């Protein structure tokens, strides 16, 4: 299959094979599935860790869990940026500008942790 339309013929053949595979899979599913599946008592009820569900389906979540997760991600990203910088810092071409850039980066993160500390976000109640 060469020429201008050869690549389209390959694409068409691939699409035909994929459609045939799709139809074959769904046909096999229809043929092999049970006609009347068993429906024992309690099969369609909610299941949670082996316990019967009790109470309402809505529960309030404390926002502090999300705040802690967000702060963890923030400082994990800081560590991800600090390690490569520390590895290549002593190479030629990294001078005072690089130190100032990293100092600004760490200062912004320090302001964030200071803000969280002053607002008592980090205190577990």
For 110, list phi and psi in degrees, rounded to 5.
Answer: -65, -40
Please check whether residue 43 lies inside any domain of the structure: no
Q: Which residue has the higher pLDDT, 116 or 90?
A: 116
In a domain, 67, yes or no: yes
pLDDT digits (tens, 9 = 90+) for 63-103: 778 878 887 887 888 888 888 777 777 777 777 777 888 88
Q: Contact at 8 Å (CB) between 74 and 109?
A: yes
Give the pair of three-digit tokens for residue 10: 């390959």
Question: Cβ distance 112 to 73 under 8 Å?
Answer: no
Q: What pTM did the predictor assign?
A: 0.42
Predicted confidence at residue 98, as pLDDT, reads: 78
DSSP SS3 for 89: coil
Full domain range(s) for residue 69: 56-124
Instruction: Please return the burial class of 105, using the count of CB atoms within 10 Å of its CB with bins 0-12, 13-18 and 19+.
Output: middle
Q: Is residue 17 part of a domain?
A: no
> Mean pLDDT score of the chain, rounded to an integer?
80
Whether residue 64 lies inside any domain: the answer is yes
């Amino acid at each position: 299959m060469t020429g201008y339309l050869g690549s389209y013929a390959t694409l068409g053949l691939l699409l035909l094979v994929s459609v045939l595979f799709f139809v074959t899979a769904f046909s096999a599913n229809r043929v092999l599935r049970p006609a009347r599946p068993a429906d024992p008592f309690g099969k369609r009820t909610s299941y949670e860790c082996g316990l019967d569900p009790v109470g309402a389906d809505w529960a309030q979540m404390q926002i502090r869990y999300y705040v802690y997760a967000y702060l963890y991600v923030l400082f994990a990203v800081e560590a991800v940026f600090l390690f490569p910088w520390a590895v290549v810092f002593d190479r030629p071409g990294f001078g005072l500008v690089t130190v100032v850039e990293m100092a600004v980066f760490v200062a912004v993160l320090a302001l964030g942790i200071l803000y969280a500390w002053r607002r008592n976000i980090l205190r577990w109640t």
